[in-house]
């Protein structure tokens, strides 16, 4: 791999003094700083200086083939950081830098289309809205008679048919919204991909994109999170009725331990974010969703019969601490407004406005969107998530999508459409299949075929 001095000159100018120095770590304090939980590890920087790093300073990886035939696009370089305690990492700087990695230029170095980003933001803000306003017409009034209020003639009054019309007081309405009206729509596929590429390039250009090795925090927090998950799974198998009573002593103890671990993990991450100046809101993106890790087997399921050991072995318990840290603020809010909050009486670590878990969001790769990236100051991605994200975005830019709206339904129907109840092998000799794959190399299953998209 060629080492481009020009490509990282700005980065080295900003972090060079920190990277080449072996001075003790300087922690920046702020109004939102909290104490990091004690890890009981002595900071011996002289011993770290003697030990060679486990990973090379400059790392290269095999990138996906380029989308466009442009020779001038070279890979972008960025730092690889770690979230582990400073004494456990191989870095000698306060930023936890452990190496460098290449970024694909067709994803992180494209021309940012602000207009397309605005389209994505407008779409995400409106597609979930429903207008529930609905007027009541004169036919829908539950009261008033349909008879004439007085005779048509010989009264000297204006003629009327009934008292339900809109010109009468408390009558029906004649104009207005007739809901519910949905604002749901699907943004074009190209605009969604362009919005993601533009936001990723903007985050990288503004130095708001950080790549980490993984989301593993301190060993103490990871061990406590694993123990809480194991105990919850065991309690769901042996005594499922105890989980239904929130005021039981077992649930009170478990809730207290869970809240304490959540707050400690949130304090650790918040202190790390304040030290590295990542901003008040941070979006953590991992390869998979933590829902499968934090799930508890329901009573009567097949998983319960397998035992606790098999559940623990089959379930990945990595990155549990950061999942609890990002869920601490939601747990704090739910505990405040829950009816049993007076019985739990949890020790409030901080009010809502200054809670350390506020602004921390954990998200899998398949949930990454323009709205979340715009509303968070910093984007933190793991190396595995980076590989998966580049693979999907490169495939999304090179895939061929068949536009079904411009294709006639009666043009070249396929065998399943001709014979709805045909016997297997009966119509094989009477069907001409020469036109099926004229433009596509892959087999087409039906007339509504579509490639899987990102």
- The model's pLDDT over 111-143, given as tens digits with 9 standing for 90+, comes to 999 999 999 999 999 999 999 999 999 999 988
pLDDT on residue 450: 45
pLDDT-based confidence at 332, cuts 50/70/90?
Answer: confident
Once rounded to an integer, what is the mean pLDDT over residues 275-298? 79
Query: Residue 378 is encoded by which pair of tokens?
Result: 């910093």
pLDDT tens digits for range 385-421: 999 999 999 999 988 766 655 555 555 555 554 444 4
pLDDT of the residue at 414: 52
Please check whether residue 152 lies inside any domain of the structure.
Answer: no
CA torsion through residues 216, 219, 224, 228, sign? positive
| CA distances to 75, 238, 240 from 257, in Å | 46, 20, 19
Is the pLDDT assigned to residue 15 strictly greater than 50? no
Quick one: pLDDT at residue 418? 45
Q: And the tokens for 52?
A: 């060679």
Question: In whole angstroms, what is the distance from residue 163 CA to residue 194 CA?
Answer: 57
CA 152 from chain center: how many Å? 67
The conformation of residue 359, written as its DSSP 8-state character, comes to T
Number of structural domains the chain divides into: 1
Give which of 143, 160, 142 is closest to 151, Cα–Cα.
160
Q: Residue 246 belongs to what domain range?
A: 10-109+207-398
Q: Which residues contact 390 (CB under 8 A, 6 or more apart)?
A: 63, 64, 104, 107
Residue 435: per-residue pLDDT: 42
Residue 193 resides in a domain: no
CB-CB contact of 41 with 88 (8 Å): yes
- The tokens for 435 are 């036109």
What confidence tier does 252 reach under pLDDT thresholds 50, 70, 90?
Answer: confident
- Three-state DSSP class for residue 86: coil
What is the spatial distance between Cα 152 and Cα 440, in angstroms, rounded to a whole number?
73
pLDDT tens across 181-223, in order? 999 999 999 999 999 999 999 999 999 999 999 999 988 998 8
DSSP state of 399: -
Residue pointed to by tokens 């949905």: 182
Q: What is the mean pLDDT of residues 87-106?
A: 72
Q: Which residues is 210 bridged to in the sheet?
A: 380
Q: Does residue 345 have a pLDDT over 60?
A: no
Select, from the ranges 33-47, 223-237, 252-266, 437-451, the one with the highest average predicted confidence (pLDDT): 252-266
Alpha-carbon dihedral angle through residues 307, 313, 314, 315, given to the nearest 10 degrees: 100
Is residue 318 domain-resident?
Answer: yes
In-domain check, residue 272: yes
Q: Identify whether 407 is part of a domain.
A: no
Q: Residue 365 is part of a domain; what is its CATH number?
A: 3.40.1370
- Span 373-382, pLDDT tens digits: 999 999 999 9
pLDDT at 337 over 60: yes
Question: How much is the average pLDDT of 275-292?
Answer: 87
Mean pLDDT score, 302-309: 47
Using CA atoms, how far residue 128 sits from 120, 183, 391, in Å, is: 13, 7, 29
CA 242 to CA 255: how far, in whole Å?
13
- Residue 40 has a pLDDT of 42
pLDDT for 281 equals 95
Mean pLDDT of 19-25: 38
Domain assignment present for 18: yes
pLDDT at 26: 37
Does residue 41 sit within a domain? yes
Query: pLDDT confidence of 289, banded at 50, 70, 90?
Result: confident
- Cα gap 4→58, rounded to integer Å: 11
Q: What is the mean pLDDT of the chain?
A: 74
> Is residue 175 in some structural domain?
no
Counted residue by residue, the chain has a size of 454
pLDDT at res. 239: 66
Instruction: Give me the pLDDT at residue 243, please.
Output: 61
Question: The pTM is what?
Answer: 0.70
- Provide the token pair at 110: 């494209």
């Amino acid at each position: 791999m060629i080492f481009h001095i020009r490509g990282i000159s700005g980065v080295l100018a900003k972090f060079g003094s920190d990277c080449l120095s072996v001075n003790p770590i300087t922690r920046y304090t702020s109004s939102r700083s909290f104490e990091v939980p004690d890890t009981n590890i002595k900071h011996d920087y002289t011993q770290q200086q003697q030990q060679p790093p486990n990973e090379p300073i400059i790392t290269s990886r095999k990138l996906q083939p380029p989308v466009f035939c442009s020779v001038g696009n070279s890979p972008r370089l960025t730092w690889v950081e770690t979230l582990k305690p400073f004494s456990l990492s191989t870095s000698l700087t306060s930023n936890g830098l452990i190496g460098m990695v290449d970024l694909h230029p067709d994803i992180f170095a494209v021309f940012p289309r602000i207009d397309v980003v605005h389209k994505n933001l407008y779409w995400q803000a409106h597609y979930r809205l429903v207008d529930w306003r609905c007027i009541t017409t004169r036919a829908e009034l539950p009261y008033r008679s349909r008879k004439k209020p007085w005779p048509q003639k010989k009264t000297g009054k204006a003629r009327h048919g009934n008292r339900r019309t809109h010109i009468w007081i408390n009558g029906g309405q004649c104009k207005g919204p007739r809901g519910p009206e949905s604002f749901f729509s699907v943004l074009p596929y190209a605009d969604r991909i362009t919005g993601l590429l533009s936001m990723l390039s903007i985050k990288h250009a503004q130095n708001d994109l950080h790549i980490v090795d993984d989301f593993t925090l301190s060993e103490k927090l990871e061990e406590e999170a694993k123990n809480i998950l194991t105990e919850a799974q065991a309690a769901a198998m042996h005594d499922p009725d105890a989980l239904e009573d929130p005021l039981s002593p077992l649930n009170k103890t478990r809730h207290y331990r869970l809240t304490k671990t959540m707050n400690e993990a949130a304090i650790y991450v918040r202190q790390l974010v304040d030290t590295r100046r990542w901003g008040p809101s941070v979006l953590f993106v991992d390869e998979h969703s933590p829902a499968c890790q934090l799930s508890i087997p329901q009573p009567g399921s097949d998983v319960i019969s397998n035992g606790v050991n098999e559940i623990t072995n089959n379930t990945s318990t990595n990155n549990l601490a950061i999942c609890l840290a990002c869920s601490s603020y939601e747990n704090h809010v739910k505990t405040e407004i829950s009816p049993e909050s007076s019985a739990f009486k949890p020790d409030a670590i901080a009010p809502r406005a200054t809670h350390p878990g506020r602004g921390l969001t954990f998200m899998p790769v398949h949930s990454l969107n323009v709205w979340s990236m715009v509303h968070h100051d910093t984007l933190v991605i793991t190396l595995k998530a980076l590989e998966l994200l580049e693979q999907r975005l490169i495939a999304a830019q090179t895939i061929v999508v068949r536009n079904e709206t411009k294709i006639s339904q009666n043009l070249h129907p396929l065998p399943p459409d001709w014979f709805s109840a045909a016997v297997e092998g009966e119509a094989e000799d009477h069907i001409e299949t020469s036109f099926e794959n004229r433009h596509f190399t892959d087999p087409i299953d039906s007339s509504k075929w579509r490639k899987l998209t990102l």
